[in-house]
Every structure is written in C-alpha cells, then in structure tokens.
C-alpha cells in the first residue's frame, strides 16, 4: 500500500495505422479490461522469453470460431509445448482437415428449420451434418489403421494426427512437431461416439489414466512453467491440478481468458488467486485474467507479442 | 403470434409462511427469471411423472457448496436414473465420506496465507489439505482392493462406491441403488492424480471408451428422456451428444441451470434451442434455461416439486 | 484468519412443504449463492428490526416483470422509508394504474412483426402500445391539473401519486403513505417525453437539484441507515453518494441484488467493499451482494423475512 | 435461410506488425465476438461516412479508466454530434481538467485501509479525495460565475465547459465545438452534491425537462441517425427513447458495447432487436452488439475506423 498513487492513468490516444502492439502500449496506461489485456501481453511475452515449458489450455468452440490457424502457428513456432483441449476442438479440427468447412451463420434463427436442413448450429456458426458424415467415415478408417493396444489418449491423438494430411491441422501439426495433445474427456465428443460404433465390432484399447505419467513427467522436468488458459473446463483444471503434486510450487506465468464468473464457485470461473491457495499458481507468479471473449483477446495478445518479439 | 397478449403478468404477492411451491405459484405469473424458474418446476414435475429415463448433469463445485444431500436423496427416491458428473464432485463426495469436511470461508482473503496454512479455497469454501491426505490414503487402499481388468469408468466408480461406508455419499448410494455414475473426464481430478501415483507400481486398467456402450444402451432403451443440467461442461455435452446418434430424436424434457453466456459460443452457455438444431433436444420438447446460481435454483426446484408430488 | 475452519458446510436437506424461511435456514449452511442469499435474509431482517431509515434502490424493468405488488406492500407496511427508482418503473406502474396491463410473451420472437402489431417488448414481457396512449392522455391531464412552480422531482411524483386511483400503485400508495419517491433521471422515461409534448404549449417547472436538500435532510436525520439495491444504475449511485457528505459514516446495512460484474468497473457492478473506500458503506456495516436475477431473489428475501417477523 | 452456408469461416492469420484495421480484417471471417467486433467496425465506418447525426451514449467509469482522450478526439474531429453521458463521467473529466489525476491501483485491496488513507476506489483505479476537494472548490466558483435562470442541464454543462481551461477536457472541448452534452441524471453525481451545498445559500435554477426540446429538435432535423452505446444506463435509454416519438422510424445505425445480459430484462442489457419492437432502431438498420469490456472494444473500433478513413 505504500506505492499507491504512483502511476497516473494515461488517457489512451489512438493514431491512424497504429499496430496492434502500439495499441496495447496505449492500453497499458489504462484500467479495467484494457489494462489487464496489456498486462496479459507483457506476461505472455515474458513467458515466451523465459526458458520454460508452455501449456495451452484450449476450451470452447474455438476451432469453429476461427482460432485454428493461430494454434497451428503457435505449435509450428514452438510457442506451445503442451496442448490440453476438448474433444470438440479436435473433432472440428479434423472436420476441416477432412475437407469440411464451418460457415458463418446467425444466432437468431429457427433451430428446427436448421434441423430439417441438417445444419448444426454453434452460436453463429453453421455446420452441415454431411461434414460429420465424412468425419465419421475417415475416423473409422483411421481407427482401423491403428494397431496398438493400451494406448494413452495422447498416443491415440498422435496416431490420428500422423494420418491427417493437412498442413493446417492442429492435430496433424502437433503430431508432426511432437507437441503432445492431452484430452482427458475425449469420450465426450464425436470421437467418443465413433469409438462406440467402432468398438461394437472391433477393438480400440485406450487407457483412461495412462496419460497421467507422461503429463506429470513433463511437469516434473520443466524448469519454468507457463500456462495460457483459453476458457476453463477440463483443460484448465487438468493443467492446474498437475502442480498440486509437482514439487516446483505452481506455475510461474498464467494468463486466463474467460467470461465465466468467480461467484458461482466453479473452477472455470475461479480466479488465479484462488489457484494460489492450492499451490497451482506460484507465490511469485505473474498472472492475470482478462475478462473477454477469447476470439477477441487471443488474436490481440498473440499478434502483439509476435510484433514485439520481431523487433 | 396469434395468441400474444393472452396472459397478463400477475404481480407477485407474498404471504408470511408460504411454502416453496406457493412461492413458485406466484412466480409463474411473473416474467424474467421468476417466470422461468416456475416453468422449470413445471417441467421437472412433468419429467418425474412421465415414464422416462432421467439424467442429471452435475457440474461445478456443487458438493463443496452443499448440494450433496440433495443428489443423494434424488438417487434414493429414484428421481435420477443416470448421473453424469465431474471428477471433482466425486472427489469431494468421497472426502466427506471419508470423514473430511468442507468449511464455510470467505472469498476475499489472502490466498498465499491460506496456502501457508494448508487450506485450499473454492470461492468461499475452505478445505484443509489434510482431508485430501485421508482421501488419498483411502483411495489407494480401494484401488488395491479392486481386482478387475478392462473396467469402464462407470464400473470403477461403482467399485469405489461399494467400498464407501457412508449413507450420505453420492458415490456410495448410487452404487447401492444401481444408479450409474458416468464421469468421462475422471483423470481430470484428484482421482486421476492418485491413479498416477498408484500406477507407478501397480496396475489400474480403466478403458476410456468402454462407458459408451452402456450409456448408449440406456439412451436406446429409454421410452422418454429428460435431463436436468446443473452447470455445463462435460456432463452437459456428454448427456446431450448421446441423442445425436439415438433414433428417438432428442430429449423430451430439459432444464438447464447456468450462469454461462451463449454469446461466447461455448457449449456450457449454449441455449437449449441451439441443441435442437443438432437433434439433442426434441422438436416437441419442453425445455427451459434458468439463468441462476445453481445453489439457489436447484434447492428451490427440488423442494417445490417434492411438495407438489406429495399433495 | 484465526477462526477459519469453524463452520463446516451443512449439506442442504429439503422437505416437502417447507416454507421459504425454512429453505433459507437450510441455505445458511451452504456456500456460493445459497449462502449469500441466506445472509441477505439475515441482514434484511436485522435492518427492519433496527430503528433506522430504510432505502430501496429499484432499477431494472421490475414492474413489468411482476415485482410491483411487493414494493406496494413494503410501502404499506412501512418497510421502506425512501424509494429511489427509474422513470421506467414509475411509467409502468402508472400504466397499470391507468388500466393497462403487461403480458407474458417470449424472448425469441420477430421484433419487426411485433412492431407491425404495435407491441413493445421487454425481454419476455409484451406491452401493447395502446396502453401507452392511455398513459399519455392521463399524464397530460394530470400535468394540467398540477398548479405549482419550482417543484422538485419528488414533489412532482407525489402530485402524480395523489391523482392516481389505484390501491396497488407504487406511486399512489407512496404519495398516500408519505414515502418519498426520488427519480433523478425522470426525463429519461415516457414521463420526460410527455413533459416535452406538454411544455410545447404549457409550463411545467421542475427543478433538477431541488430534491437534494430533502434527500440529504433524510440522510442527516437518520439514526441508522439501511439500503436494499435491486439492480444498479442511478438508484444505487444516488442512494450511496449521499453518504459521502453525510457525517454518519456510511450505510449500516446494505444488500445488493445484481447480475452485473465488478470487473468492467461500472458502478452498477461495483462491490459493496469498493463502496467502503468511499465511505458509502460503513466500516462495521453488514453488507452482502447476491448475484442473482432480482425477480428470483427479491421475492425469496421478502417472503422469508415476512415469515420470520411473524413468528 | 436460402443463403446459409455461403460464407465459410476463415481461420484468423496473424502477422507481426499488423495494424489494428488489418487485425479486424482477419476477424471479419471469424465468428463469436471477433466477427461481431469486425461488424461493429464496418457499421461505425458506414455511420461516419453517411450524412447523419451521430450520438454517443457514454456510461460506466470510462473517464477514470482512460477513455477520456478518445472522446475528446471524436468531438474535435466531429465524429460525435451529440454526447449523452453520466454525471460521473463529467465529474471525473472535470477532476482531470482541474489538475487532478486518477491512478492505477489494484482491485484486491483492503478498502477500509484505502478509506483511512482517503483514497476512493473504482475497481482498479484509485482516486485521492483531495482531488475531489479541488473539484468542489472550483465547481462552486463556476456556479457563482454563472448568472442564468431556467437553464437546461445541457446549458449548465456548456456554461461549465466554457469555464474549463483544458484542451483535453470532454466538457471543455464539447462547449467549444458546440457539441451538446446531455446528462439527464446530473443530480446523481458529485455535481448534484455540490449543487446541494451551493443552493443552501445561493440560487441555481436548472430545469429538469428543458433539455427535451433541444434533444428532440436534433432528432427531428436529422437526416440519418446513428448511435454508439458504450454501456447502458440512462445514456442508452435516453438516446433510444427519442425515436419512439420521432417520425423517422428509428436509428439507422447502432452499435452497443456491453457486458450486461439480456435475460435479466433490464434496458442496459436489452438486445438491439428488442429495440426494434419499440421503433427505437429502424427496420432496415445496421446494428450489432459487441459483448466486450468497452475499454477493450472502443479503442479497437475507433483505431480501426480511423485507419480506414485515412486510406
């Protein structure tokens, strides 16, 4: 409390043609969301420059919304060491890898009319069911081509990724670049539904807990650790819980992009401060939550840091 | 649109000593959240009275917050046929079953001080780490006592439940009453962390996809289907996705209690209308979302329906 | 921090036929929203029992939603000493007083079709424009009947209230019972629009700042002060700001029902703790925010306290 | 519905050094918040290029947060014709004009300690009370210097603005550039509190309804109309309600930046579609809501449009 009243708010000034990093520079002097967004850029840059292991928790329908290439590029540039995501993001990544597309729709629509036209809706994204049909056929072929027992979920995703022929697929590029993808709730997705169909006649042996060792080994061997959480859900908790049993003492860097609220008590909306009581975030960590739609905040942060690192 | 302006808003009147169902009766004539809460009570009552299969999706830190006994009673009275939940809710249920307690704390607190005192925080719930230690010891004993290979996650939870000695444990009572508990993301919890420890020296063989058949068989054989979603996350999606491949055409009844927003596009905040475009919710379904803290809305709905059914 | 871990969470138990106060009793032992709702009931009861001045800030479309009678009864039972509200709530109160009705509609609707049918929508409330026509005629008559210069807004509302013939009108009953209604933004409502029409040919002399003295005199003479804030906006700020210049040192009791967020920095979502830094809420005040739809939380709190006071 | 599935989602690609408008170009092909933000930029550009009257509704603690200069520049470049705001934004603008500063603080803090140190908190902005003291003295001097009766609130603000000596004051620049500022709830601010002090001995005659004629004349004479709503509250409603009695048929362009929710029924969170049922927004209007912290969204939109118009 001794150093309050040290930093006057700097009123933001906007110029024509300013770059994203220049805009963030202006936001640094401001408060509320603008200030936190600028802080997230600082922390993300520091996290990339430090010699640590970088985790991305990636929840929400981010691939349908247009965030796929960003993650692919992060993997290619090795700015992610570990990806933890939902089954849905893998599924929608594969749909695009198999030639399907998501379409820009509207959120105010007659959903029963959509159903009659075999179009699935994800807020304002439309997805024709026929793309799912292609996905299902291709996935069954891939399952049939995998001849391993006792796989972990990560190993299954690597096997799938190696059979994907799309330079812009998260699953494909991650497999190629040896960036592990963890997806604890994989059964909770169209992959789970296809596994159900497939295992009615064939064998697909994937162990629920086998991932834990690989994941924990990564955590144990890391010098420094940083995490970017896009949304909450299983990816956020799975990344954070590892630190409870890791002797290092919690993440050194953490950025959370979310619209969930803390007051309802769920983990998705929990503050990063709360995570410190568990030892999930370190005592001296740099951490910030940006309360924003991730489709707005994520591109800004990545673009700004890209520009800074390129100077 | 022909029948608009048929139902005037009835201004709520409150009496001293009114019962929960009487309060809901007053709310029925009102709008916004009050009207929707009353509608949820109507739908839940209809769902219980219909001869169908009832699913409960149970996400968020509901057990630490005090919703455990409600679920136990629902299972005992067979008002739930299938429970889908998070690993965390199972863990916190077991912590209480093993003699631990959650404590009422405050949300404005020095989390590093809590950490030094070995207290974990879940918003305004405090949990001493020593209760986790007991949980871990007991769970390792239970793991050692289970001698089965190729279990599904549901089977693992039943095995655990059968070894729990607490008449008020969700896991225990569900096992006793043959109410299956599905928990696709079980690795994402302290159970996953203990499985990691255990499997460093021993074998625990749990198949990721094996649950799918049992779950889909339940869906296929159901005459009518109804779902109450407390929060979103994996439980909501896992319950809903089953209907995509079920010929019945979607849930007949659906109630969602959430504070998540639709506009960010994630499944947790998605409207039940959106689910209709996928065939997850039926064309003629009765469905409502109550935008409320589940710790407020769930007790009200259950208490009101209990009273009505007892008349 | 010495007394953490004193109060174990009590798992909520529900009984058939339980009263609202009994439900709240169960919620007291729980956390998150349930715990805070129970705390709000305790604080509201203490506030009513204390010998103080009770303010109600009443924002949002509460009258269209069905909360009108609750406020009328609070005024009749003198559980409100001062009402601060929006122009809209006065307008919709008068619409009902003049024989109009609000109707229960739906929120998913073609708004252009509604417009063609001359129906105005307030989320899921429909209001035919013809009720506005009656309101306008009646209000112009009332304006013409008032022959005073230099009125304060409160005096204008009392004059209107005295000309309302409806035992269930907030404006009417408040005038009758000498409960002052303050409405700083009155021009921002259909009353303002009618004033614009009226003053094209006639004189209506209402002073913007004249209310301040009466309001501040109430604050200065109060022994104890308590405030219930239904929503934020002008009513919340207007009530709170009075304490900045009142020597008493802030409200002794405060309850806030809101869904607004603190993180965006606006006053509506600001925490009651923040208000303490300004001296708006007292150092030893009992204060709680319930993050809930007010149409759910308000009836519960009032019904529970009514029951307790009647014991 | 015939043209669904026409626009595939374009996965966002980020480049180092990209400008804000280039980032928006990438966001245009995406969904959720990113897509809507890009749409807001398109609409705002179209609104500026059209020959219409441009309204800015400006609610929330935007001046303390750092948005003051943006509004000043918009006024200077005549990209705003009418400003409607809260008393608080005027007050904080004047505090800076009188030499005070807002300071970047933190949101997790002991508010009673702040109070003891005479620092007021607005989320993560700190404001020393001594700046208020200067504000109060200066405002009383200005009041004394104004010798007019029967002023409208707009006229009062112009009189104040003409006495402000700061080229970066919203109030000052607006007065100089003849951009009217409307502030219906002016009593609900520190200006109201000073008016109370001042009028204990002197006269300050400001008419509540006098603004209506000037405001409605602007609306009547406008060829086209566009509105940007930063937050909700009185500014949003006051701007929108004017169209109910204007024969033109509603705003032609509308952009809303908000985090408020529609489901609670309040006007602040109401959708722009709902406004169409009232005729507040025109049938053929271009309108979009961006669900975002305004301190993030506003600078982006303004910077992107500035860049486009400069090409």
3-state secondary structure A128-165: EHHHHHHHHHHHHHHHHHCCCCCEEHHHHHHHHHHCCC
Q: State whether A11 and D69 contact (CB < 8 Å).
A: yes
Q: A65 to chain C, minimum CA–CA distance in Å?
A: 23
Q: Which residue of D32, D92, D111 to mutate against A (max A Cβ within 10 Å)?
A: D32
Q: D111 to chain A, minimum CA–CA distance in Å?
A: 11
What pLDDT does C31 receive?
Answer: 98
Residue B280 DSSP one-character state: S
DSSP of B31-85? -HHHHHHHHHHHHHHHHHHSSSEEEEEE-SSHHHHT-HHHHHHHHHTT--SEEEE
Show which subunits contact C, needing at least 3 CB pairs below 8 angstroms.
A, B, D
d(CA C201, CA B129): 75
A22: pLDDT strictly greater than 90: yes
End-to-end C-alpha distance for chain B, whole angstroms:
36
Q: D154 to chain A, minimum CA–CA distance in Å?
A: 25
Q: Establish if B266 touches chain D: CB-CB under 8 angstroms.
A: no
Of C64, C122, C293, the CB nearest to B291: C293
Residue from C182, C163, C5 nearest C94 by CA: C163
Q: How many CB atoms lie within 10 A of CB B108?
A: 13
What pLDDT does B4 receive?
Answer: 81
The strand pairing partners of D83, in sequence order, are D56, D181
Cα separations in angstroms, A186 against A87, A138, B195: 5, 17, 18
Residues 6+ apart with CB under 8 A from A273: A281, A287, B111, D108
A150: pLDDT strictly greater than 90: yes
| Confidence class for position C4, pLDDT limits 50, 70, 90 | confident
Domains and CATH numbers, chain C: 52-295 (3.40.910.10)
Q: What is the mean pLDDT of residues A286-309?
A: 98
Main-chain phi, psi angles of A181, to 5 degrees? -110, 125
The strand pairing partners of C52, in sequence order, are C224
Q: Establish if A257 touches chain D: CB-CB under 8 angstroms.
A: no
d(CA B166, CA B164): 6
Q: C263 to chain A, minimum CA–CA distance in Å?
A: 7
Q: Map tokens 């009994």 to a residue.
A: C22
Main-chain phi, psi angles of B111, to 5 degrees? -70, -25
Give residue-wise pLDDT tens across range A231-290.
999 999 999 999 999 988 899 999 999 999 999 999 999 999 999 999 999 999 999 999
pLDDT string in tens for chain D (311-residue length): 557 899 999 999 999 999 999 999 999 999 999 999 999 999 999 999 998 999 999 999 999 999 999 999 999 999 999 999 999 999 999 999 999 999 999 999 999 999 999 999 999 999 999 999 999 999 999 999 998 999 999 999 999 999 999 999 999 999 999 999 999 999 999 999 999 999 999 999 999 999 999 999 999 999 999 999 999 999 999 999 999 999 888 999 999 999 999 999 999 999 999 999 999 999 999 999 999 999 999 999 999 999 999 98
Catalytic, out of D104, D177, D280, D306: D280
Q: Establish if C186 touches chain D: CB-CB under 8 angstroms.
A: yes
Asked if A20 and D300 touch (Cβ cutoff 8 Å), the reply is no
d(CA C291, CA C35): 11
What pLDDT does C189 receive?
Answer: 98
Nearest residue in D to C242, CA atom: D193
Q: Establish if A146 touches chain B: CB-CB under 8 angstroms.
A: no
Q: Give the pair of three-digit tokens for residue B215.
A: 């779950």
Residues of C in contact with A33 (CB under 8 A): 263-264
Q: State whether A261 and C261 contact (CB < 8 Å).
A: yes
Q: Which residue of D263, D270, D274, D297 to mutate against B (max B Cβ within 10 Å)?
A: D263
Asked if C246 and C220 touch (Cβ cutoff 8 Å), the reply is yes
Q: State whether A263 and C108 contact (CB < 8 Å).
A: no
Q: State whether B264 and A60 contact (CB < 8 Å).
A: yes
Main-chain phi, psi angles of B136, to 5 degrees? -65, -45
Show which subunits contact A, needing at least 3 CB pairs below 8 angstroms.
B, C, D
- Residue numbers of chain B with a pLDDT score lower than 70: 1-2
Q: State whether A276 and B111 contact (CB < 8 Å).
A: yes
Q: State whether A259 and B261 contact (CB < 8 Å).
A: yes
Nearest residue in A to B156, CA atom: A208
Give residue-wise pLDDT tens across range B267-311.
999 999 999 999 999 999 999 999 999 999 999 999 999 999 998
Q: How many CB atoms lie within 10 A of CB C77?
A: 12
Active site residues of B: 280
Q: D113 to chain C, minimum CA–CA distance in Å?
A: 8
Of D5, D13, D292, the CB nearest to A103: D5
Buried/exposed B25-36: b ≥16 CB within 10 Å, e otherwise:
bbbbbbbbbbbb
Q: Give the pair of three-digit tokens for residue B3.
A: 């029948």
Of B124, B209, B277, the CB nearest to A206: B209
What pLDDT does A248 receive?
Answer: 81
CA dihedral C210, C211, C215, C216 (to 10 degrees): -30
Provide the ipTM: 0.97
Q: What is the mean pLDDT of residues A23-30?
A: 98
Name the C residues in 79-118 with CB < 8 Å from any A CB: 108
C76: pLDDT strictly greater than 90: yes
Q: State whether B107 and A262 contact (CB < 8 Å).
A: yes
Distance of CA B75 to the CA centre of its chain: 11
Of A31, A33, A263, the CB nearest to C291: A263
Give residue-wise pLDDT tens across range B132-169.
999 999 999 999 999 899 999 999 999 999 999 999 99
């Amino acid at each position: 409390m001794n150093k309050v009243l040290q930093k006057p708010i700097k009123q933001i000034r906007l110029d024509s043609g300013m770059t994203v990093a220049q805009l963030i520079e202006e936001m640094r002097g401001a408060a509320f969301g603008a200030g936190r967004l600028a802080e997230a850029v600082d922390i993300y840059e520091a996290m990339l420059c430090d010699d640590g292991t970088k985790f991305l928790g990636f929840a929400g329908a981010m691939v349908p919304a247009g965030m796929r290439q960003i993650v692919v590029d992060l993997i290619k540039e090795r700015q992610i060491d570990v990806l933890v995501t939902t089954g849905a993001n893998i599924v929608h990544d594969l749909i695009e890898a198999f030639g399907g597309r998501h379409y820009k729709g509207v959120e105010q629509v007659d959903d029963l009319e959509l159903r009659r036209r075999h179009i699935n809706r994800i807020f304002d994204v439309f997805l024709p069911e026929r793309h799912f049909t292609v996905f299902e056929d291709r996935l069954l072929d891939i399952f049939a081509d995998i001849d391993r027992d006792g796989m972990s979920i990560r190993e299954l995703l690597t096997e799938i990724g190696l059979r994907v022929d799309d330079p812009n697929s998260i699953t494909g590029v991650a497999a190629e670049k040896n960036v592990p993808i963890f997806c604890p709730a994989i059964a909770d997705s169209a992959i789970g539904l296809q596994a159900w169909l497939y295992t009615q006649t064939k064998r697909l042996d994937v162990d629920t807990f086998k991932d834990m060792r690989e994941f924990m080994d990564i955590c144990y061997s890391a010098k420094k650790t940083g995490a970017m959480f896009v949304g909450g859900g299983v990816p956020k908790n799975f990344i954070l819980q590892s630190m409870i049993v890791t002797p290092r003492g919690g993440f050194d860097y953490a950025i959370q992009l979310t619209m969930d609220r803390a007051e309802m008590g769920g983990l998705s909306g929990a503050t990063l401060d709360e995570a410190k009581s568990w030892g999930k975030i370190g005592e001296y960590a740099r951490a910030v939550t940006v309360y924003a739609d991730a489709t707005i905040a994520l591109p800004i942060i990545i673009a700004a840091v890209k520009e800074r690192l390129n100077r």
